[in-house]
């Protein structure tokens, strides 16, 4: 009889730790047998090697085998806190083990018992102590914490290391041999994979580290196969749909490009090529896709300032010429307004009406925009999440353009696509280049166009690394730029001061739970600048402001009503301020490469020289490597590859951009896992039919993945939107 752990609740099972453990596990999102069996150790400790007491070294962790010769409880200077002291003896000497505030230790230890204990050694002059060691009696039948390779888990209140290990051991003893293995045997044998029951056992209780590695390889294969099944399903399902065939005539296309280039000022009287080579190639690729009648799925990767929006507007104008509509989805109202203003300037001469649909606009204005979309008068409809609403409908939606596409989930994009009578063409845009190694695996079903060249008139941005000791000169430079009519962004990593326990904004690399000493918040930095530059207008923007307040602050900066804008990474997304020439990033070591590159791209967009000043006092080697990388190159694609080498695929460069969940076990920064992903792609193509559907064994596998077994419930739930379940 096989057991599906995804359908078994922990509640009601006879687990060590009882209701207290269940409440603690629930805080960790662990409520089913599958959840607990796939709860990954964060590391392992090898406690098999026994160290003689005489050879213990202070400042290290060690495992000893010793007899308890004395046990006592003493008061401490801290009120209400007692300490338990056990004297442990082996053939080489004696050592005291000390636990503070853990009275249960006295009940678990007995004088005369021989135990295996593991803990950190603390040197106390000529003597040594073991600090709060974990222990198990030798021959006691409960060898879960000592004398073996031991899993170390992330814990929470109510869940101790011992209770969690005992609970996992209990489940494996009850269900281990009977755990259902959804992966077809033919797939396992072709790829030399460990059976699932053995893998789960070795994940938690490996006899050797090579068995742990084999277990992780099996689970990484399941995880990557689930991702590839979703991708193959998406690709084959879209390929089977019929989209509008959009084929502008040569005359129409020449008129479209002429008006857009004229509006951009791109055509030079001296005969320079109006489009960059990359833009020309991308336009031709997109128009080729639109002409086929098969739904386009293309990713337009444009490094900062390379002209993605102009390319997208050519596609929208071509769609309008064919009698159909386009929708452009933007992540913020400010960016949507910016796109709408640009679109009206470039496309109005072509007779293309642009409608702007925003949740924050007056009701009458929003109603008029939706009416123009519904009756077809608006050939280009631009908006934010308001485009998903039932009240927004289209007469003939042929093309969907998603800007900063990684900020929208698969389900959100699907809502917009569902508003078309036929499968619409889909153009995804991102200014965060995706490393080629990632794109080959997670975007195998997506055609890609890359923009690397800067259009004429854009000057390269100069980047410099400075320390806090240089800030006086930096602020003098900012003052000089303001005197010349140019503006400055100042970015800090958190909203409020660390001393006030402020939270970091998205894009920072340090732990949200740790208040970092010396971190200056937005408000405090703005106040410092008001004192240093009293004659300059200082604005503030951050994620905890109300959306309307944030929009007002950004619009004031765009309009030139403030000289310096102090903010967090909320300024990163696509905002275009032609007069902004300087980007100062304080404590720059706290940001990832992708974020630093995006922030740098916010300046130098109006023809003036742009400057990015990275301020850091950190001596961390990885942080220094990030800053040196951003200083040495302006190539976002190269930086994306370096980012992977420095910190893995990350939340920006990894699965989140593909609309798929983060990987828990596999990491595409590791060559071995990339090889597994390629094999998983081949297996996914075998498992699904030409319509992208799963039948027989494949259907059972997909259903098991959707329930989270053995890939984790959160991953399974996220894949449900994309997979054939």
Write out pLDDT tens, residues 60-73.
Answer: 999 999 999 999 99
Nearest Cα residue to 195 out of 211, 173, 210: 211
Shared domain check, 259 and 343: yes
Q: Is residue 568 part of a domain?
A: yes
Is cis: bond before 710, omega within 30 of 0? yes
Which pTM was predicted?
A: 0.74
- Domain shared by 542 and 624, yes or no: yes
User: For 61-74, b where at least 16 C-beta lie within 10 A, e where not — what string?
Assistant: ebbbbbebeebeee
3-state class of 223 per DSSP?
Answer: helix
The range of the structural domain enclosing residue 65 comes to: 49-147
Helix (H) or strand (E) run with residue 312 in it: helix 308-321
Tell me, what's the pLDDT at 476? Answer: 96
**Domain identity same for 611 and 700:** no
pLDDT of residue 268 exceeding 50, the answer is no
- Whether residue 478 is found in the same domain as residue 604: yes
Quick one: which of 382, 367, 358 has its CA closest to 551?
358
- Please indicate, yes or no, if residue 159 is contained in any of the structural domains: no
158: nearest Cα among 291, 22, 268 = 22
Could you tell me which of 417, 398, 406, 431 has the C-alpha nearest to residue 300?
Answer: 431
In a domain, 186, yes or no: no
Domain boundary among 107, 129, 147: 147
Residue 508's domain is classified under what CATH number?
3.40.50.300
Q: pLDDT tens digit string along 58-113?
A: 999 999 999 999 999 998 887 778 999 999 999 999 999 999 988 788 888 999 99
* DSSP single-letter state for residue 328: E
**233 in any annotated domain:** yes
State the alpha helices, DSSP H only, in 376-435: 410-417
pLDDT of the residue at 17: 83
Alpha-helix runs per DSSP H in 109-194: 161-175, 185-191
15 found inside a domain: no
pLDDT at residue 654 greater than cutoff 60: no
The structural domain count of the chain equals 4
Between residues 123 and 510, which one has the greater pLDDT? Answer: 123
- Indicate if 379 and 497 belong to the same structural domain: no
The CATH number given to whatever domain includes residue 129 is 2.40.50.140
The answer as to whether 362 is a domain residue is yes
More confident site: 647 or 448:
448
Domain check: are 538 and 624 in the same one?
yes
**C-alpha distance across the termini of the chain, in Å:** 25
- Residue 386: beta bridge partners? none
Question: And the tokens for 660?
Answer: 């798929």
Model confidence at 290, pLDDT cuts 50, 70, 90, reads very high
Same domain for 109 and 230, yes or no, is no
330 and 354 part of one domain: yes
Verify that 265 and 373 share a domain, yes or no: yes
| C-alpha dihedral, 333 to 339 to 340 to 342, nearest 10° | 150
């Amino acid at each position: 009889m096989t057991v599906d752990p995804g359908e078994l609740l922990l509640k009601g099972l006879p687990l060590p730790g009882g209701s207290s453990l269940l409440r603690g596990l629930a805080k960790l999102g662990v409520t089913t047998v599958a959840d607990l069996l796939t709860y990954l150790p964060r590391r392992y400790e090898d406690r098999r090697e026994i160290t003689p007491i005489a050879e213990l070294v202070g400042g290290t962790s060690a495992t000893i085998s010793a007899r308890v010769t004395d046990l006592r409880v003493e008061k401490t200077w801290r009120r209400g806190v007692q300490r338990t002291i056990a004297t442990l003896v082996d053939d080489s000497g004696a050592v005291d083990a000390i636990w503070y505030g853990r009275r249960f230790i006295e009940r678990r230890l007995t004088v005369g018992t021989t135990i295996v204990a593991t803990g950190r050694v603390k040197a106390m002059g000529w003597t040594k102590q073991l600090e709060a060691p974990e222990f198990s009696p030798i021959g006691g039948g409960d060898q879960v914490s000592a004398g073996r390779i031991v899993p170390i888990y992330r814990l929470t209140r109510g869940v101790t290391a011992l209770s969690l290990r005992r609970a996992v051991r209990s489940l494996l003893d009850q269900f281990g041999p009977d755990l259902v293995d959804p992966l077809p045997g033919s797939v396992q044998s072709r790829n030399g994979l460990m059976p699932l029951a053995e893998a789960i056992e070795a994940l938690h209780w490996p006899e050797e580290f090579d068995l742990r590695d084999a277990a992780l390889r099996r689970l990484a294969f399941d995880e990557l196969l689930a991702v590839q099944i979703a991708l193959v399903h998406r690709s084959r399902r879209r390929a089977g749909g019929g989209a509008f065939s959009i084929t502008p005539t040569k005359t129409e296309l020449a008129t479209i490009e002429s008006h857009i280039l004229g509006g951009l000022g791109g055509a030079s009287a001296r005969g320079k090529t109006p489009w960059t080579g990359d833009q020309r190639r991308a336009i031709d690729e997109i128009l080729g896709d639109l002409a086929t009648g098969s739904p386009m799925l293309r990713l337009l990767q444009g490094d900062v300032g390379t002209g993605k929006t102009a390319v997208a507007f050519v596609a929208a104008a071509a769609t309008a010429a064919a009698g159909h509509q386009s929708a452009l989805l933007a992540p913020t109202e400010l960016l949507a307004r910016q796109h709408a203003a640009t679109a009206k300037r470039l496309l109005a001469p072509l007779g293309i009406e642009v409608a702007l649909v925003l949740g924050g606009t007056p009701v009458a204005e929003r109603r008029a925009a939706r009416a123009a979309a519904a009756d077809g008068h608006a050939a280009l409809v631009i908006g934010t999440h308001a485009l998903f609403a039932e009240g927004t409908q289209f007469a003939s939606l042929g093309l969907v353009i998603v800007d900063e596409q990684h900020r929208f989930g698969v389900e959100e994009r699907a809502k917009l696509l569902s508003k078309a009578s036929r499968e619409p063409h889909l153009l995804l845009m991102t200014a965060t280049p995706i490393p080629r190694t990632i794109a080959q695996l997670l975007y195998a079903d997506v055609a890609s166009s890359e923009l690397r060249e800067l259009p004429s008139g854009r000057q390269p941005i100069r980047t410099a690394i400075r320390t806090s000791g240089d800030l006086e000169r930096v602020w003098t430079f900012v003052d000089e730029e303001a005197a010349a009519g140019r503006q400055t962004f100042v970015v800090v990593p958190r909203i409020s001061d660390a001393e006030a326990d402020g939270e970091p904004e998205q894009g920072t690399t340090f732990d949200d739970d740790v208040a970092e000493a010396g971190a200056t918040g937005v408000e405090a930095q703005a106040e410092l600048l008001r004192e240093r530059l009293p004659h300059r207008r200082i604005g503030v923007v951050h994620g905890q402001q109300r959306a309307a307040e944030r929009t007002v602050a950004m619009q004031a900066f765009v309009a030139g009503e403030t000289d310096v804008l102090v903010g967090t990474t909320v300024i990163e997304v696509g905002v275009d301020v032609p007069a902004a020439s300087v980007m100062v990033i304080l404590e720059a070591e706290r940001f990832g490469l992708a974020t630093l590159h995006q922030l740098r791209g916010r300046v130098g967009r109006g023809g003036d020289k742009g400057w990015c000043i990275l301020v850091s006092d950190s001596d961390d080697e990885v942080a220094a490597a990030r800053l040196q990388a951003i200083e040495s190159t302006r190539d976002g694609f190269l930086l994306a590859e370096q980012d992977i080498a420095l910190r893995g695929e990350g939340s920006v460069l990894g699965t989140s951009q593909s609309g798929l969940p983060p990987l828990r076990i596999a990491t595409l920064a590791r060559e071995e896992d990339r090889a597994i992903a390629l094999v998983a792609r081949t297996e996914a193509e075998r498992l699904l039919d030409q319509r992208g559907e799963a039948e027989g064994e494949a259907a059972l596998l997909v259903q098991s993945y959707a329930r989270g077994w053995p890939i984790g419930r959160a991953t399974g739930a996220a894949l449900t939107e994309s997979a054939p379940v």
